[in-house]
Chain A
């Protein structure tokens, strides 16, 4: 029981790190990056490719994953999303084109990884780091699990505090409320957008490396389901709310663990999909959502 609880907390922390960046970007600069899941997968995949050449330590792998994630995320933003927002006039069309463009881009890293691995799972078996398991009472805790939970907690708190108390955080939030007025007040929208996307991608890369160590192997397709799960977490909590994402991520992880232990693994993915419907129907603004700011 306690073991399952620990597993759920670890899984929730992974979801949190993944969804945090997505929610940040969506809530502030208005970009729902559908390629986020592919970026996650590809960061781990690059780690796997490099490991085939030389055995890296955990730190090196994390640094590599974060860098690859951040670079890819910024690349996608500059090449695709920035162009779309430049060429389209109204917000609604831009939103749809960003989603469609993101779906298209998401297919590229996926196809590359599928081609290279022939759709087989890949892992970090060649790394010099392997998690060690400590036994505390009946509980088996690995140092990796501790790292995952601590990293998620620290990063989420740091970002939430930064967003709430710093001048830059205020500027970023103001873009989310009204982008045009924000830029009239001297907020450099383009720079903030790039930094936000880099942070989001970096978080995805970090989550990917830690998750791959945690579960042992990743399939090229894992990004697809994860993006839907993150979407479920975000809308459950409310778009743009950092506390909301945290609640959403852990709620989903607990629900999934509950189903996994009672009914088996086949239906686990259906939870997040049904959760999306439930939230959108019952409380579209999410648990922590503020009254929707209508941007026309």
Chain B
């Protein structure tokens, strides 16, 4: 059984001007030993969806439909207390610009220890020792447990966030744009850390980003999101070698690479749609090079091609 199964998830934001369909019928699975990359541009719904995995969706947002089954239990219908215990211990998350999530008036050691004390029945001293070990595991000297967040650089603060997230050995780790905004060398060091932690702790990861190259370095399989829907799912290698959905193709073609010959890049005309009034039929149709009449009228369902799951009318 897969560790995480998301089925037909729908999350809408109800505003005065109408319902924003941020996540509209999304399904995917994560197995116990794989890393899933979720790629999409701004407004595609990936962050909303990931918040739903921790049940952080607040009004005016609401989970309208669907199931999120984690280790056999549906998170959506879980009781509040059970959910609170799950957060941090079952599922842990590192937020975007997580560095701002650190409490500036508490030492980093204490912040890690807090999480440990919350979930495990240990003494304060034991928790502190464990906190120091956590820092070591992310490449920071244990001595620095007594330091405050402002004494660390951006990349190091991100490491602290990872230390906090992995403190209680979660069964699933969610990283929301963990390296966005960091310098390239720091980013590389962090990605190396994530890969090694994943191997050492045997930790399945959901990795959300808009950066194609970062996914290529870390993820086993990829789901491409566009305007609240998943348009293609495949293994990373297969997706990059042979993207099927026109959006995936266009995205890969718009991405510069530093290695290899200088390819010609092409931009995608138009812009991602506003989700308050998404295009009819297939949401990508206004920007698609291969648009047909049916694309304007009917939403495509998932079909299989070459081992990929693709939502596109081009596939019979």
Q: Does B associate with A? A: no
Report which A residues bind B (CB closer than 8 A): none
